[in-house]
Structure formats: C-alpha cells, structure tokens
Structure 1
Amino acid sequence: MDSELLRTLNVDNFEMRFADVANVELSQLHALSISVGWPHRAADWQHLLDIGKGFVALDEIGRVGASAMWFPHGPSFATFGMLITSPRLQARGAAKWLMQRIMADCGHDCIRLNSTREARRLYFSLGFKPKRTVYQCQGTAVTPAAPPPLEEGTVLRRLDPSDLDTLIALDAPAFGIDRRAHLLRLFGSSVCYGLYNGDVLRAYSMRRRFGKGFVVGPVIARNDEDAIRVTHPHVTAHIDGFLRLDTHFEAGPFASFIQQSGLAVFDTVTTMVKQEGASYGTGEDGDAVVYGMVSQSLG
C-alpha cells in the first residue's frame, strides 16, 4: 500500500507533501491544534510525540496544514488520533491522504480511534465501524458527593512503582491489550490511586495535567461503586479547578457522580474500530472495564 500512496497532494494552487511528525517544530504542531480549538498544550503534544508516530502535511513554504498520528500498543494493536486539518484544508482531501499514510505505516488492521462528527464519514469510507459513544465531561469541579463506604478489608491508597505490575494486569483485559509502555509513561506524570482488597487490586485511577487543567484517566474498575471510589480523591483535589474525564458511560451511578461533581457533558465522539479484535473489553467474565479514558487519541 505504501508504494501506491502519493507523496504530494495538490490542493487548489499549492502542493502539500508528507513529513514525519517527529521532524516538525513543536510550536508548529501546537499552532495547528490551536487553529481548530483543541485544548492541547505544547507539553501534551510532546507526550504524544514521545510515544507515537505520525505524519504532517506541509505546504511549499513549510507550514503545517494537517496532522495524523498512531500509537502502538504492542506489535499488533494501535490507536489513531490527532487527525487535524487546518480550516483552509478541510474537505480538500488532506485528512484522507494522511489517514491512508498512517494506516500503511501501521501495517495492520487492529486499530481503534475516536471520531468527531465531522470525521465520521471519512472513517466509514476507510472501513472503520462505530462501537460506542464517548462522553467528554468537563467543567469546574465542585465538592463531590461522598463515595460509597469502603467494604471491610479494602483500602484506598496512593499507588507507587511497586504496584505497576498489578495495575497493568488489571488494565489489560479492560483496554483490550497489555499497554505496559504507555502506562509506565503515564504513571511517571500522574497522581494514581488504587483500591485494594488484601493483595487484589480492584480498581485504579490516574490524574495528570492536560489542556485547560487536569484530566482524570484512565479509570479502570469492575463496577460503578469502585470507579467512584478511585475517582473521588481526584475531584476533591481540584475543587474550583478545571477537570475533565472522558467516559463511555452515559447513565448509572458513575456517570451521575461525574456530572454532579461539576463535569457536564461538553461534547461526544464515537469509538470506531477497523476490526472486532480492536474493541474494548466488555467485562463479561468479571474483568474490569474502562470507566475513564486516558485521552481520545490513546483510548
């Protein structure tokens, strides 16, 4: 497929060319996301560059007009994200051109992404199928309702590096694959809580700086009550501050807790997959599920 891809794309009276996203100035990438109203800081871009791959479209004088990235989670699974086209290039073929390029670079079809309404038709045309709605919840955090009381023998505490192997084992069936490298990177820049019953980790959560304030995610748990328990300290830590959490849960105790904590639904996107093997875990075998995503690019 790679050999068949056009190296340049003619748009109106100028020509766009591919460039590796790793070779582009961070300030240019930041300016691109600002141009479409995305909240990413330069530091958020840097995090994605550290763990992902991708391409940009450059015009004849080196301006970045569009971007697309992919993030490997092991050798045969990836999430796609950061598909951005500047206003002057929208609906002119640059997004599809870049998507075809990163699909060729990825080299397999076990792919998951989260699509805006505007991009959904493009992803349909490339063979992606819709699975679930993502509710982007954000706002100024208010004092949350008390979490469910801890059951006898359980403890909620800050996690440290000695918990990582247990955390990764809980996370893998929920996310759909072992994403060790990404969790290690996130752990180093996040505040993390875990709910233990003896030596068994029942739920965990992370919080880090992102965009306008802080984002809570991932949140991994087997039920709403445990998800609330591990999310509650993050809300409490940021009362009167901007907080965000992206979730597939529209209703139920966890969704109610999030919205009553000041994080109203701001927008929705759609989780889409190239093949069924890229879907999230369902929790049908008693495994944990994803209550809060890392981000829309990373899942």
Structure 2
Amino acid sequence: MGRSVRLKSFELVARDIREVDVKLLHALSLAVGWPHRPKDWDFLRRAGQGIVAVDGIGRVFGSAMWFPHGRKFATIGLVLTSPRTQAQGTGRWLMEQVFERCGNRNLTLNSTDAAYHLYLSLGFMKEAVVYLWQGEVASSLPAVPVLDGELMSPSAEDLKEIAALDERAFGTSRQKLLALLSEGASICTLSRGGEIVGYSMKREFGRGHVIGPIVASNDCDAIHLTAVHLKELTGRFARVDTREQTGLFADYLQQSRLGISETVTTMSKGKRFLNRKENEPWVYGLAGHAVS
C-alpha cells in the first residue's frame, strides 16, 4: 500500500515518528483518552520504531509503532487514529505500513475493543485477555505468602541473568528494551539457591507508576515481586497489566485496592506468541500493553 492515503477532504502521508514534535504525539494520545505523557512517548521512540500520519501542514492524525526483537519477531503498539479519521481507514493504512516495514516477522499486539475486528480482518488471531488493574494503592497492604527465597536489588552484572530469565518467559530476547527500562526503573529480583528465578520493575508512567515487567514461576513469587513495589506506593496511583483475572495474584491486586479498569486482547499474526508452561517463568506483569 502507498506511503500516502487520501481521505474525504485531505491527504495523509507517513513520516518517521522521530521527526515529529512530541507535543503533537501527546495531543494525539490525549484525544483518544490514553495516559501517555510526553516523556512516555520519548521513551517509546527510543525503544522502537514508528510512523505517523500527517497532513500537508504537519498535523498528526495517527500513529503506529513496532518494537523489533531480533529478525523474526516484533510487538506492535501505539496504533492510534484521531477521532476525526477513525472511520476513514487510517488505522488499516497505518497497519499496512507496519507490515511493509516489519517484513516476515511474527507479530503480536494488544488490541482495544474498538480495533479488535480490524486486526481480525488483517489476519491476527486472539490468544488471551490482558486486564489493566489500577487505582490508588491501599494504605495497609494485605498479608503476603511465606517468602521462598531472597528479594534483592540487582547489580549491573545481574542484568544479563535477568535478560536470560525474561527470554524464557517472554519467548524471545528483548535485551534492548530491558536495558532501556532499567535506566529509570526500580528493580527487584527473587533468588533461590544463588539463582535469579524472578524479577520485577517499577517506573513512572501516565498517571502514576506501572509495575512491570513481572516475571515469576508461580503466583506466590509474583505477589512478593509486586508487593515490594506497592509498599513504596501506598496512597498513590499504580497500574499492573496482567493476563491474570483470578487466582492468588489477582486476589492480591484486588486486596491492594487495584481494580480492573479495562481489558485489551493479546493477538498474534504468524507464529503463536504465548506458551505458558507449569512451573516455568511467566510474564505476570507486562512492561506495558503497548510493548507487551
């Protein structure tokens, strides 16, 4: 599909997202009710690649980003279209541009309800639901299970071990993304027998803080890796994006006064993305549903 698209009364062209003033990207996300701040957009532009749909005088009417992890896989996010163009095919045009640039990579994304049927028509298949738990953290947190292992702040040398654990849980290496996340995040690891078996990150995002990624092999470990950050956020706004709706981990989030604000749907095109195995590392908390 071409690098430009004509709508009812004007033409849009694709430009590299790095060439656009971040204030225009912030205005776009505000227009659709997304919480991304200018600094969140700046981080995402460092982490991935993207395009924007602009008119002849530089106004931004849409965006789409992709985050390559090697030559065979990429996640897609920040596919936004302004309310003015949502029914005029801009989203489909943006996705065609993404397909062209991603080549033969397997793809995954987390779809809003509004975009779900578009992605189905583009060949994506539903895999799971992501629950966005968020709210002001309770001033008194619930009890946690007995800790099996040791919670620690990692050293710089531990980041390679964290990346290797994350690759087992996520399915492919995302070392670049983790390195960028670690620059502004508080990180906690869980170790047993001298081996890192889980980790979590907390960073500023949107209205407050997001806790994620959270990687653990069971609910109890995931609770501890989340609780260590929630203790620092009592009375403040926090968010956890997870595929857990029920179970001990979800119960803990609810008892911490977080609630499900909305859901998105994990979808894949090409090779199936999710492959959960019992007692193996699993992504309990996403880095953010835009980057998975």
TM-score by length of 1: 0.95
Moved more, 64-73 or 100-109: 100-109
Q: Secondary structure at the match of 1:74?
A: coil
- Assess if the C-alpha contact under 8 Å between 2:190 and 2:197 holds in 1: yes
Give the Cα–Cα distance (whole angstroms) in 2 for the partners of residues 15 and 181 of structure 1: 36
Give the Cα–Cα distance (whole angstroms) in 2 for the partners of residues 14 and 62 of structure 1: 12
Report matched runs for 1:179-258 at 5 Å.
179-258=174-253
Give the Cα–Cα distance (whole angstroms) in 1 for the partners of residues 105 and 159 of structure 2: 29
Give the Å deviation of 1:73: 1.1
The one-letter code matched in structure 2 to 1:209 is: E
Residue 273 (1) aligns with residue 274 (2): no
* Residue 147 of structure 1, aligned match among 144, 149, 169: 144
Residue 261 (1) aligns with residue 256 (2): yes
Give the Cα–Cα distance (whole angstroms) in 2 for the partners of residues 238 and 123 of structure 1: 36
Give the Cα–Cα distance (whole angstroms) in 1 for the partners of residues 100 and 24 of structure 2: 24
Identity, in percent, stands at: 42
Q: Secondary structure at the match of 2:157?
A: helix
Give the Cα–Cα distance (whole angstroms) in 1 for the partners of residues 274 and 144 of structure 2: 26
* Residue 173 of structure 1, aligned match among 147, 158, 168: 168
Q: Report the equivalent of 1:42.
A: 38
Give the Å deviation of 1:298: 0.8
Give me the CA root mean square deviation: 1.0
Structure 2: where are the runs of 5+ without partners? none
Deviations 1:25-52 (A, max 9, x none): 1111111101111000101000110011
Give the Å deviation of 1:150: 1.9
Deviations 1:192-232 (A, max 9, x none): 11111121112110000000000000000000000001110
Give the Å deviation of 1:275: 2.0
Structure 1: where are the runs of 5+ without partners? none
Give the Cα–Cα distance (whole angstroms) in 2 for the partners of residues 209 and 251 of structure 1: 26
- Assess if the C-alpha contact under 8 Å between 1:173 and 1:281 holds in 2: no
Q: Report the equivalent of 1:292.
A: 285
* Residue 96 of structure 1, aligned match among 92, 97, 101: 92
Give the Å deviation of 1:109: 3.7
Give the Å deviation of 1:75: 1.8
Q: Secondary structure at the match of 1:161?
A: coil
The one-letter code matched in structure 2 to 1:281 is: N
* Residue 62 of structure 1, aligned match among 45, 58, 74: 58
Q: Secondary structure at the match of 1:217?
A: strand
Give the Cα–Cα distance (whole angstroms) in 1 for the partners of residues 241 and 83 of structure 2: 26
Q: Report the equivalent of 1:51.
A: 47
Deviations 1:231-290 (A, max 9, x none): 10111100000000000001000000011111100000000000234x133124x32001
The one-letter code matched in structure 1 to 2:74 is: A
- Assess if the C-alpha contact under 8 Å between 2:71 and 2:105 holds in 1: no
**Structure 1 runs (4+) greater than 3 angstroms displaced:** none
- Assess if the C-alpha contact under 8 Å between 1:174 and 1:280 holds in 2: no
Q: Report the equivalent of 1:31.
A: 27
Give the Cα–Cα distance (whole angstroms) in 1 for the partners of residues 211 and 259 of structure 2: 14
Give the Cα–Cα distance (whole angstroms) in 2 for the partners of residues 271 and 51 of structure 1: 20
Give the Cα–Cα distance (whole angstroms) in 2 for the partners of residues 180 and 229 of structure 1: 24
Give the Å deviation of 1:62: 1.0
TM-score by length of 2: 0.97
Q: Report the equivalent of 2:277.
A: 283
| Paired residues, number | 291
Give the Cα–Cα distance (whole angstroms) in 1 for the partners of residues 271 and 142 of structure 2: 37
- Assess if the C-alpha contact under 8 Å between 1:134 and 1:270 holds in 2: yes
Moved more, 15-24 or 203-212: 15-24
Give the Cα–Cα distance (whole angstroms) in 2 for the partners of residues 31 and 261 of structure 1: 32
- Assess if the C-alpha contact under 8 Å between 1:174 and 1:283 holds in 2: no
Q: Report the equivalent of 2:132.
A: 136
